[in-house]
Amino acid sequence: MTRRDAARNWQHIVDTGRAFLDEDRPLRLNEVAREASIGVATVYRHFPTPETLLEVLARPGLEKLVAKAETALREEDEWAAFAGFLAAGIDAQLADPAIQPVYAAATHELPETTELVDRLNALTAELLAWVRAAGRIRPGVEHVDVIRLMCGVVFAATVHARPTERPTLTRRYLDVVLEGLASHDASRRRDQN
């Protein structure tokens, strides 16, 4: 097999895996191989586990979130930057079902996935520290709280809701969460100025 054939097979496996996720089907490598009309051994050579394939599928979305966080840290208003990043994270989870399980996994198959998740965690913590230093978030809110709340918003908006309703519901629930996270002392100080 030529290098070009191997690259073509790899891409076809990735595209087939993406179709499985988009159709809310379990990512089983034998089924991916059958649907892609590629030998099972070839699929396992490229992706030894379903998690490996899932991580490859999640990578572009995670990279976009890292870029969004980096951009947010250059904005002028810390609260708008923080809220905008959280909204982007929710949108990413709605758009790509690979992101949440890969981000939430305790360990990763690929070192580049670990690097991306670590970078995203560091940037999220930096955004949180920025709003905390400005007195814009209630005391005691930790990085893990923010992550869990964002996952909760997505879960709440997807349970018993049609896909067309989900973007509106996530925005509504995010607004509620942000109102709860905001330091009301900081709001009063801004109103008095």
Secondary structure (DSSP) of 15-59: HHHHHHHHTT----HHHHHHHHT--HHHHHHH-SSHHHHHHHHHH
pLDDT at 1: 63
One CATH from 1.10.3470, 1.10.10, 1.20.1070, 1.20.120 for 1-48: 1.10.10
Q: What is the pLDDT of residues 22-80, one digit of tens each?
A: 999 999 999 999 999 999 999 999 999 999 999 999 999 999 999 999 999 999 999 99
| Domain boundaries defined on the chain | 1-48, 55-192
What amino acid is encoded at 73 in this protein?
L
Q: Does the model's pTM come out above 0.75? A: yes
Q: Among 65-69, 115-119, 135-139, which stretch is predicted with the lowest mean pLDDT?
A: 135-139
Span 79-97, pLDDT tens digits: 999 999 999 999 999 999 9
CA dihedral 94, 99, 104, 106 (to 10 degrees): 170
pLDDT the model gives residue 188: 44
pLDDT tens string 163-172: 888 889 988 9
Return the CATH number of the domain spanning residue range 55-192. 1.10.357.10
- Provide the pLDDT confidence category of residue 160 given band limits of 50, 70 and 90: confident
Same CATH topology for 1-48 and 55-192: the answer is no
Alpha helices by DSSP H, listed for the chain, are 3-22, 29-36, 40-46, 50-72, 78-95, 99-104, 111-133, 143-158, 166-181, 184-192
